[in-house]
């Protein structure tokens, strides 16, 4: 199972978009406080559209609470400070995959990253770009994990309706 972890997210629209992505790919969304918004805000639900009630979302008071309640999981830390590219890990389909992203203004704190150097991953970018939008980053990495796992249980084909214009 895929787990998306947001460490202290600040923007409700990003979190709403990420929630919608989680519903589309069957992922659990974990939110580590403090949050920069309330979960009942209109902006978060607008971005998540009518999918928010289908989302498995869990909240934690801090990172230690998250670790404790999830039995100290193996976590891939998505950060611009990583040495490894996000497509490099195997992301086995027989294990829970946790991908953690930091808050929009500062990323994941270095005191956390120091313990996860070997499982830290990055999305390649041109050198003069600081970072991508958080919800875009989550979508990129989430679908890479799913690709590694063979998109099991996913609808793989669409169908045109052949409307006459």
Can you tell me the distance from the alpha carbon of 83 to that of 72, in angstroms, rounded to the nearest whole number?
A: 23
List alpha helices for the chain, DSSP H: 12-25, 42-48, 63-69, 110-113, 134-148
131 is in an annotated binding site: yes
pLDDT at 37: 84
> What mean pLDDT is predicted for residues 60-72?
96
Token pair of 105 as six digits: 């203004």
Q: Rounded to a whole number, what is the distance in angstroms from the first to the last CA of the chain?
A: 43
Which phi and psi (to 5°) does residue 69 adopt? Answer: -75, -15
Mean pLDDT calculated for residue range 1-26 = 94
Question: Any idea where the domains of the chain sit in the sequence?
Answer: 2-148
Q: What is the pLDDT of residues 121-149, one digit of tens each?
A: 999 999 999 899 999 999 999 999 999 99
Do 52 and 45 contact (CB within 8 A), yes or no? yes
The single residue listed with the structure tokens 């999305």 is 123
More confident: 75 or 162: 75
Adjacency order of strands within the sheet including 120-122: 57-60, 28-32, 2-7, 97-101, 75-78, 120-122, 84-85
Confirm whether residue 123 is marked as ligand binding: yes
pLDDT in tens, 86-117: 999 999 887 899 999 999 999 999 999 999 99
According to CATH, the superfamily of the domain at 2-148 is SPOUT methyltransferase, trefoil knot domain (3.40.1280.10)
Categorize the per-residue pLDDT at 71 as very low, low, confident or very high, splitting at 50, 70 and 90.
Answer: very high
- Tell me the sheet residues that pair with 116: none
| Average pLDDT score, the chain | 91
pLDDT at residue 48, as a whole number: 55
Whether residue 4 is annotated as binding a ligand: the answer is: no
Q: What are 36-63's pLDDT values in tens digits?
A: 888 776 766 665 567 778 899 999 999 9
């Amino acid at each position: 199972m895929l787990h998306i972890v947001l460490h202290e997210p600040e923007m409700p629209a990003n979190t709403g978009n990420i929630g919608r992505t989680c519903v589309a790919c069957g992922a659990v969304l974990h939110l580590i406080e403090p949050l920069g918004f309330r979960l009942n805000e209109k902006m978060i639900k607008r971005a998540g559209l009518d999918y928010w009630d289908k989302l498995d979302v869990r909240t934690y008071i801090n990172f230690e609470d998250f670790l404790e309640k999830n039995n100290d999981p193996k976590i891939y830390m998505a950060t611009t400070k990583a040495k490894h590219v996000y497509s490099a890990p195997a992301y086995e389909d027989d294990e829970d995959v946790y991908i953690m992203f930091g808050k929009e203004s500062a990323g994941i704190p270095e005191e956390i990253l120091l313990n996860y150097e070997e499982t830290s991953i990055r999305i390649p970018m041109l050198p003069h770009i600081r970072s991508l939008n958080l919800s875009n980053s989550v979508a990129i990495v989430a679908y890479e994990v799913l690709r590694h796992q063979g998109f099991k249980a996913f609808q793989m084909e669409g169908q045109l309706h052949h409307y006459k214009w």
